[in-house]
Amino acid sequence: MSWSSDEMNLWDWDKAWECTQTFKCKHSGYICQVMFNPKNSNSFVTASANHMIEVWDFDSPQCKYTLSGHWDRVNCLDFFTHDNQQYLITGSSDCSAKIWDMHSNMCTHTLHASMSPVMSVMFHPNLQVLITGLEDGTVYLWSSTNFRLERIINPPVIEPPAWGFGWLYNIFSSPVSEHVWGLACSMQSEGFVFGRGETVAMVDVSNVNNQEESSHHSVPQIRADTTTQLIDNSVLLEVHPSDLRFPLQPHKSTTCSLDLTNHTYERVAFRLVQKNKKSHSFGEEEDSLLSNVPIYGFIASGSTYTLVVTTKEWPDQGEDTSLDLLLQSSISGDKFIVPFENETECVDLFEELKEMGNVVHELTLKAVFYAQEEVTRESCLSNAIDLSLVL
């Protein structure tokens, strides 16, 4: 298969590379990736710069149907299976990855971990995890069963060698901030590799004891409980967990994922903000404890949106403390079809919805920050994996 801006060509190996089919693209954006369907030898999907995912059959030059939900360029995609049901994961420059049910053709889950475009995605069959690579060089591992964040890989900064061949380093290496362009894994191992700039990073997950043990250590530290806060008829979103727990680790930032599930038949706007501010004994204010709050966006009907709340780096010493987060939600209808560009647009929308008579639901969540006597490598989500760089 080869493609250009407005068409794709299918070439037959057995017929001396004869072009057997030409597929016409109606959109104006270029094609970013093509993926063959492993469960249907007559089907393939494309990720496009026009924000769409298109599904094709080999026997037709026209697109069969489209999957819409991203609001920026779709960079990458991959198929995976869970409970004998086929899904598709897509990554976009709108800084999110989406999970699509290929039976209903609906988006069932949105993964949002950072304000950085998702450049590559992959399903690892041996680990049963979904892997997303971001433009800022970070790699995230997600459970393919419940779509919870499992681990974060921050590629290390590579220093030039001290023995005088800095020019060689400049040729074969690149800064840590360069994009994660590609992901690959071996069917016989629990490791994977990813390309970042002009380097390749090899991740050996088996060095972290094993997948189950590492997950067992990390989950209790970032979640207060495993029970979902069930909603009543007056609340739009199902929230899990109701409390977020962050271990205090000097000079490190920690994360906690938060699932928001929309069980309504309407599009819901949400906004997560800090509810109160006060000073602490180590000189910081609560508004500076979390690095990426406020968080805001939209959740499609019947879909789950996973947020990753991140702390700033802690000072040398800190005491146990907590703060309240306020989750606001309201049915948005057709207002703001495209996502918010900034928080002001989100605030203005909620004010407009109130003036229209829409109910803005509010739910208080607790963020708990606690000190640890000893922090092990397995207990720190961001340092859970050993990396070795291969030039």
Q: Where are the domains of the chain?
A: 2-208, 219-372
Q: Which residue has the higher pLDDT, 256 or 252?
A: 256
Q: Which residue has the higher pLDDT, 76 or 195?
A: 76
Q: What is the pLDDT of residue 376?
A: 47
Nearest to 288 by CA among 321, 311, 319: 311
Inter-CA distances, 111 with 153, 168, 270, Å = 16, 39, 15
Inter-CA distances, 164 with 158, 170, 369, Å = 15, 12, 46
Mean pLDDT confidence for 341-345: 82
**pTM of model > 0.75:** no
Q: Which residues, other chains included, contact 40 with Cβ-Cβ below 8 Å and sequence gap of 6+?
A: none
Q: What is the pLDDT of residue 279?
A: 47
Distance between CA atoms of residues 298 and 114, nearest Å: 16
- Tokens at 106, concatenated: 């609906």
Q: What is the pLDDT of residue 28?
A: 65
- Estimate the share of the chain in helix, then strand, then coil, as percent rounded to the nearest 5: 10, 45, 40
Q: Residue 107, exposed/middle/buried by CB under 10 A (0-12, 13-18, 19+)?
A: buried
Confidence of residue 151 (pLDDT cuts 50, 70, 90): confident
- Tokens at 13, concatenated: 């190996």
- Kindly tell me if the per-residue pLDDT of 208 is higher than 50: no
Residue pLDDT, tens place only, 213-230? 333 333 322 222 222 233
Q: Does domain 219-372 sit in CATH 2.60.40.10?
A: yes
Q: What is the pLDDT of residue 174?
A: 42
DSSP SS3 for 213? helix
- Kindly tell me if the per-residue pLDDT of 336 is higher than 90: no
Residue pLDDT, tens place only, 94-113? 889 999 999 999 999 999 87
CATH architecture of the domain with range 2-208: 7 Propeller (2.130)
Q: Is the peptide bond before 241 cis (omega within 30 degrees of 0)?
A: yes
- Kindly tell me if the per-residue pLDDT of 282 is higher than 70: no
When the pLDDT of each residue in the chain is averaged and rounded to a whole number, the result is 76
Q: Which residue has the higher pLDDT, 25 or 73?
A: 73
- Kindly tell me if the per-residue pLDDT of 280 is higher than 70: no
Q: Which residue has the higher pLDDT, 371 or 47?
A: 47
- Kindly tell me if the per-residue pLDDT of 371 is higher than 80: no
